[in-house]
Amino acid sequence: MVTIEVPAQYGYVLLAAFSTFLVGTWHQGFVGRHRKLAKIPYPYEYASYEQIQTAPPAKADAMYLFNCAQRSHQNFNENHVTALGSMLIGGLNYPQTAAILGATWAVNRVIYAFGYTNGTKGGSGRYYGAVGMVAHYVMIGLAGKSLWDLLW
């Protein structure tokens, strides 16, 4: 049987994990503001290509930015589970490193969203948050190392 001892510094990991909940909540508001500006009613998730092509320029820009904000939120949701899980697992053996990586990931998700909605066509501004993806992959590796240490 394996015994898991939670390190004294694990609270920092939990704080970083909690910060991801705040970022997720912020994303909801960010998308909501862009939805209002673009006048996209619920339950529509995105403005269609046809809607954007036939809209006046200012409305088309607002719709495009709404789609970018929505996509950045979707990307956050797609990555949140693995980032959070790997942070919590990795933090069992490496709490400071996991907390720093988790906080880096959370901050860069906001940078990613702002970059994605900076008006650059093709959403290339999202690359400003690329450090977050590096942190994400390192956290996955850290979780694997923690599990290795725990089991062998």
CB 114, CB 31: distance < 8 Å? no
CATH of 10-151, one of 3.20.20.140, 3.30.420.40, 1.20.120.550, 3.30.800.10: 1.20.120.550
Q: Residue 72: which of 41, 134, 121, 114 has the closest Cα? A: 114
How many whole angstroms separate alpha carbon 5 and alpha carbon 51?
55
pLDDT digits (tens), the chain, 152 positions: 667 788 999 999 999 999 999 999 999 999 999 999 999 999 999 999 999 999 999 999 999 999 999 999 999 999 999 999 999 999 999 999 999 999 999 999 999 999 988 877 776 777 888 899 999 999 999 999 999 998 88
Model pTM score:
0.90
Dihedral sign from CA coordinates of 43, 48, 54, 55:
positive
